[in-house]
Amino acid sequence: MEVVLNINGEEKALQIEPGDILLDTLRSNGYMGHKRACSTGSCGACTVIIDDEAVNSCMVFTASAAGKKIETVEGLGTVSKPHPLQKNFVDAGAVQCGYCIPGMLMSAKALLKKNDSPSRDEVKEALSGNLCRCTGYVKQIDAVMKTAEELRGEK
Amino acid sequence: MTSQYKVVNQSVKKVDGLALACGKPVFTGDVCDKNMLKVKMLFSPKAHARIKDIDTSKAEALEGVKCVLCYKNSPRIPRTTAGQGYPEPSPYDSVVFDNKVRFVGDRVAAIAATTLEIAEKAVDLIEVEYEELEPVLDPHEAMNDGAPIIHDEEDCKVIIPIAYEPEKNICAYVDANVGDCDKAIAESDFKFELTTHAPKAQHCATEPHISTAHLDDKDRIVIRTSTQVPFHVRRIVAGSLGIPVKKIRVIKPRVGGAFGSKQEVCFEDVVALVTLRTGLPCILEYTREEVFVSSRIRHEQYVTMKGGLNKDGKITALDMYVLSNTGAYGSHGLTVMCNCGSKVLPLYPTENIKFEGHAVYTNSPVAGAYRGYGATQAAFTMEIMIDQMAEALNQDPLEFRLSHHIKEGQGSPIFQALGEGKEGVEQTVKSCGLPQCIKLGAEEIGWKEKCNKQKDEGPIKRGIGMAALMQGSSVPEIDMASASLKMNEDGSFNLLVGATDLGTGSDTVLAQIAAEALGITEEDIIVYSSDTDMTPFDVGAYASSTTYLSGMAVKNAAEEVKKQIVQVTESMLQEKDAEYCFEEGIVKSSTGKSVTLSEVALYALYQENQFQIGTIGSAISHSSPPPFSAHFVEVAVDTETGKITIEKYVAAVDCGTAINPKLAEGQTEGAVFNGISYAMTENYILNDRGKMLNPNFRHYKTLKSNDIKEVKTILVPTFEPTGPYGAKSVSEISINGAMPAISNAVYNATGVRLLDAPFTPDRVLAAIKAKG
């Protein structure tokens, strides 16, 4: 079947099977930023934003995302022009192996869209679906707090 | 922070940080070609069985199936899957596919098909006739007379002279003795004895194990794999398949975490064999469940310690016995066990020391390397006993540690007695920041105010605890690293290293070391790591070796390159015997003249006496300088539910010069979280037939961002004279503190000793009730 997905603001007509999973569809169409790590919706490595909500793309049927606004890490920023979250994650030392980071960035972005002045506990809560084994989450939380300040124009 | 250095000891940005944060396709699975065959493994449902027959004909007949591998059509060449240096101290007790299975999850066969769905379907079509054998899951029972023999095959062996008795399920036995422990303890004023149990655990690297293989234009096998040990993978795959090393190239892309789990040839031999047989590219990726069950885990250990102490405060003896469950295969069995002694016993020098250990085969998931490597399990025991000793003397456990820990200039006979498959190496401690770690950590947690405060009245009891730790930096007189440095026209350099960045930041740290030596910034160092065709040899990322040992190799290469640059400069400036310093890309002569590095490179490449400025530097370690650390934790124990809340955790670490302080903090925070998670929640639940019941993140809990209130890391600078710019290791040590520190804090809060991890509410409650 054919579906039209809106990925990072671009309309894409894709041939899929009815049972296809969004994570697989994204990865097989060149959106490699989001990773498969558990396939059960419990680690967050595949987190994308659908209509402003951070969701595990391994738990979403591709067909059900048709007509919705999908945001992936590829739409966030680039190496030469990173999004403030990406820059602050690197500056804070929050990126170690980096496998969980694209998913975590999307959770952070979804949070900041809804709440531009999150408390540290609110950031912890927003990132709690994204498992990371390299870090202790400390530096990611720092990076999100700093980005929130920057986006509010305080720094 | 002020520093005598310009690039090292600075928190420069991770060289691969932005690419990773932008989701660039840099991992093994990101370069998967749609045409690759998908490989799926058939795993054993039995804990212990002989395969009487296997019928793969139906699977082979399925359209899209290109290759089926099992014991009938694969080479039988015993080897170890442990990614260790040659000759490996782990037994050669496995083959690519065997006609016996030894745990639920053992390899039976592999299918390569055009799609994953076909491969999965084909796996179900394989018919296996098992002759079921009695399993043994408990390491104590495995040593009993009459226990089922797990390795009864005739061709398992060890290739170095170590005690190996597979007929008794003993994978390794070690003992080391200094003085007379029994006599010393018998004559001591106070005697101590306790046994702790540290459970099985999974590394839970976010990226599952994954490898691809394809043939290059010369029909060599190219393996791309998420590994800590590319050179060992090449050697072990060659040995397992009986093909020459020169036929294999191993490439390590970015790795999505490893922590020891990828110091192992988990299935690179299988993808290589599929590609050899079919001529086609292939990919094999474990699911999360397969990672839990069939990759590698931490050695479950029962550690018994006895000790003696006199009223005058003298520790008279330390005696450690380790029973280590290596699972179905003996990967890292000997060395993890030896590390229990060698990384823990030297911390408190005494005249009488004894170490003894059995690593035992059982029909349970296979153990291997895991961050901490035995020191985690043994520090649990030691640091509780040290608290008990302080209590016997009615002394502050902090003061007791300060007065008894190993000091600069001191050695330990254990360093020499316990090596990795051979005798260890004598060494004295040349840098030790433990007193400062203890002082600063205590201030941060508020030790003085909190440790003797009035006990809480209500059901929530608060308490405080600590642990002191040491680890090592590389395996001395065994590990070797090398680095190639090559100069370009613009004064930049290619740094090619066999060292394996797993997300640890070693590419960045090594670039900083090269840049510091050459008087440039890390931005002028182009790092390429770990490709057996392109980069020089390195044992790989394990044993806390990369910053210390690979860092030394890089520094050696940079020093040699500087000599070459000076030679060229002398010729350019037509002078001799001047002194040169390298600053900001300029070579400055004591005569006042100068040339830029770019001018030097252009001259050497295009003008006079042309040659490529560059070299390969190597390093081997002659000692394994310990980093030191003091960990403190404040807990609140709900005595009605058994729930422990971690209020605050402080880790103060002496890693010598932190080459990149922010990355060193990150290593520490990650290790602390992993340690707390291991202490509090992580466990393998096996049924009585050896099947794991919780192989997923819903039932095997690792800590989330909102599970801990506050973690504080303090770096305590010292200078390690044998390390590059004074550096020691940092990656492993901080996983070792949580179990003993939390146990000590719970004792402080409630008077209950927790000796069996994880400290889940049911166990805590049971311990509280048992105490009454």
pLDDT at A155 (0 to 100): 60
Residue A36 in contact with partner chain B when CB distance is under 8 A? yes
**End-to-end CA, chain A:** 49
Dmax over Cα atoms in chain B, in whole Å?
Answer: 87
Please state, rounded to an integer, the average pLDDT across all residues of chain B: 97
pLDDT tens, position by position, B312-343: 999 999 999 999 999 999 999 999 999 999 99
Task: Give the phi and the psi of residue B434 in degrees, each rounded to 5.
Answer: -60, -40
Adjacency order of strands within the sheet including B628-638: B460-470, B628-638, B644-654, B711-715
Tell me which residue of B337, B321, B543, B539 sits closest to B421, measured CA to CA. B337
Contact (CB, 8 A) for B51 and B130:
yes
A58 to chain B, minimum CA–CA distance in Å?
13
Q: Is B499 exposed, middle or buried (0-12, 13-18, 19+ CB in 10 A)?
A: buried
B21·A92 Cβ contact <8 A: no
B421 pLDDT band, cuts 50/70/90, is: confident
A89 to chain B, minimum CA–CA distance in Å?
8
- The interface pTM score, or ipTM, of the predicted complex is 0.98
A35·B18 Cβ contact <8 A: no
pLDDT tens, position by position, B628-678: 999 999 999 999 999 999 999 999 999 999 999 999 999 999 999 999 999
**Whole-number Cα distances in Å, B442 to A112, B112, B715:** 37, 57, 14
b/e per residue B712-723 (b: at least 16 CB within 10 A)? bbbbbbbebebb
Report the residue of chain A nearest B289, measured CA to CA.
Answer: A38
pLDDT tens, position by position, B137-194: 999 999 999 999 999 999 999 999 999 999 999 999 999 999 999 999 999 999 999 9
pLDDT > 70: percent of chain B: 100
pLDDT at A134 (0 to 100): 97
Nearest to A137 among B27, B505, B705 (CB): B705
Nearest 5°: CA angle at A149, between A146 and A155? 95
Taking the C-alpha atoms of residue B747 and residue B768, their distance in angstroms, rounded to an integer, is: 10
B33 pLDDT band, cuts 50/70/90, is: confident
Tell me which residue of A28, A74, A68, A34 sits closest to A52, measured CA to CA. A68
pLDDT at B619 (0 to 100): 97
Q: Which residue has the higher pLDDT, A95 or B418?
A: A95
pLDDT tens, position by position, B80-130: 999 999 999 999 999 999 999 999 999 999 999 999 999 999 999 999 999
Q: Checking DSSP bridges between strand B644-654 and strand B711-715, what pairing results, if any? A: parallel
Strand partners, B130: B51
B231 pLDDT band, cuts 50/70/90, is: very high
List the single best residue of A8, A86, A97 to mutate versus B (max B Cβ within 10 A): A97
Task: Catalogue the E-assigned strands of B310-402.
Answer: 315-327, 352-361
pLDDT tens, position by position, A142-155: 999 999 999 999 76
A73·B23 Cβ contact <8 A: yes
Report chain A residues whose CB lies below 8 A from the CB of B504: 96
Strand partners, A53: A50
The 3 state secondary structure assigned to B74-104 is: CCCCCECCECCCCCCCCCECECCCCCEECCC
Q: Is B698 exposed, middle or buried (0-12, 13-18, 19+ CB in 10 A)?
A: exposed
Nearest 5°: CA angle at B8, between B2 and B13? 100
Tokens of A150: 């920057």
Tokens of B63: 């359209």
B478 to chain A, minimum CA–CA distance in Å?
27
Task: Give the phi and the psi of residue B285 in degrees, each rounded to 5.
Answer: -130, 125
What is the mean predicted confidence (pLDDT) over B703-724? 96
Using only C-alpha atoms, what is the Rg of chain B?
A: 27
Taking the C-alpha atoms of residue B75 and residue B77, their distance in angstroms, rounded to an integer, is: 6
Q: Checking DSSP bridges between strand B614-620 and strand B594-596, what pairing results, if any? A: unpaired
**H/E stretch holding B115:** none
Contact (CB, 8 A) for B603 and B703:
no
Strand partners, B212: B224, B283
Phi-psi bin for B288: left (phi > 0), alpha (psi -120 to 50), beta? Answer: alpha
Q: Side-chain half-sphere of A65: how many Cα atoms within 13 Å?
A: 33
Task: Give the phi and the psi of residue B250 in degrees, each rounded to 5.
Answer: -115, 125
Polymer length in residues for chain B: 772
Task: Give the phi and the psi of residue B730 in degrees, each rounded to 5.
Answer: -145, -15
Cis bond before residue A84 (omega within 30° of 0):
no
pLDDT > 70: percent of chain A: 99
Q: Which DSSP string do the residues of A107-125 spell out, in sequence order?
A: HHHHHHHH-SS--HHHHHH
Cα B744 to chain center, whole Å?
26
Write the CB contacts of B38 (distance below 8 Å, at least 6 apart in sequence).
B112, B113, B114, B115, B116, B118, B119, B282, B283, B284
Write the CB contacts of B588 (distance below 8 Å, at least 6 apart in sequence).
B580, B581, B582, B594
Least confident of B415-429, B439-453, B472-486: B415-429
Polymer length in residues for chain A: 155
B34 to chain A, minimum CA–CA distance in Å?
8
Least confident of B110-119, B184-193, B344-353, B444-453: B444-453
Taking the C-alpha atoms of residue B534 and residue B483, their distance in angstroms, rounded to an integer, is: 11
A139·B666 Cβ contact <8 A: yes
Please state the pTM of the whole predicted model: 0.97
What is the mean predicted confidence (pLDDT) over B237-248? 98
Contact map slice: A 80-139 vs B, CB within 8 A: 82, 86-87, 89-102, 105, 121, 123-125, 127-139
pLDDT at B717 (0 to 100): 97
Residue A75 in contact with partner chain B when CB distance is under 8 A? no
pLDDT at B14 (0 to 100): 97
Tell me which residue of B302, B261, B372 sits closest to B678, measured CA to CA. B372
What is the mean predicted confidence (pLDDT) over B493-514? 97
Contact (CB, 8 A) for B635 and B521:
no
**H/E stretch holding B282:** strand B282-285
Report chain A residues whose CB lies below 8 A from the CB of B29: 35-36
Taking the C-alpha atoms of residue B295 and residue B268, their distance in angstroms, rounded to an integer, is: 12
Contact (CB, 8 A) for A54 and A110:
yes
Contact (CB, 8 A) for B669 and A136:
yes
Whether B587 has a pLDDT exceeding 70, the answer reads yes
Contact (CB, 8 A) for A87 and B13:
no
Whether B1 has a pLDDT exceeding 60, the answer reads no
A98 pLDDT band, cuts 50/70/90, is: very high
Taking the C-alpha atoms of residue B434 and residue B591, their distance in angstroms, rounded to an integer, is: 45
Contact (CB, 8 A) for B453 and B520:
no
What is the mean predicted confidence (pLDDT) over B543-561? 97
Taking the C-alpha atoms of residue B635 and residue B461, their distance in angstroms, rounded to an integer, is: 8
Report the residue of chain B nearest A85, measured CA to CA.
Answer: B21
Taking the C-alpha atoms of residue B634 and residue B650, their distance in angstroms, rounded to an integer, is: 9
pLDDT at B453 (0 to 100): 77
